[in-house]
Chains A and B, each alone.
Chain A
Amino acid sequence: SQTIHQWPATLVQPVGSPLSLECTVEGTSNPNLYWYRQAAGRGLQLLFYSVGIGQISSEVPQNLSASRPQDRQFILSSKKLLLSDSGFYLCAWSPAQRGFSGNTIYFGEGSWLTVV
């Protein structure tokens, strides 16, 4: 079965510090990978998605970047955090070949980021 791991689970970072959140998926090959942010009262916001190694699409201009150095590894980064970067960050994956379930995606446990 497929599993998704995301870390760290919680972090508190000062303004201006760098950020690195990491996500790995097991049990599948060539998944589509996603980074979402969930802010209180604002729902899920898609930040980045990737259909393959080195292929990153950004949904919104922001202080963040993403990279996919390996097939099942997805990294969210920032060089200098802003207060507005605080939130709950979720990594997710979906099968490359979608069948009946369409593009159903599966989420990791999330990372709580507080920028102080």
Chain B
Amino acid sequence: KNEVEQSPQNLTAQEGEFITINCSYSVGISALHWLQQHPGGGIVSLFMLSSGKKKHGRLIATINIQEKHSSLHITASHPRDSAVYICAVGRGIQGAQKLVFGQGTRLTINP
């Protein structure tokens, strides 16, 4: 079983829909990251969470440390949100912050 599990693996929705991507992990972590990967391959860091909730524009990320679960929400989805969204957990306490990655969720938003 992977240490980081994402669901769903693939998600197709219509423009304007509310999107939720889930991430569950089985190890102790120092932080959880949500990342976005576009078809060209480059990765952009969206959020880093160690507790609670963060919001940036139409994106919201939450984490429940006790349940070892995080969600990424997209409100008023748009075709430009189409990408692979990756959850990763940080394992380091100090120094290098090694990440363990989920397999990603491929999101497609149709106009």
Partners in one complex: no
Query: Footprint of B on A, CB under 8 Å?
Result: none
Query: Footprint of A on B, CB under 8 Å?
Result: none
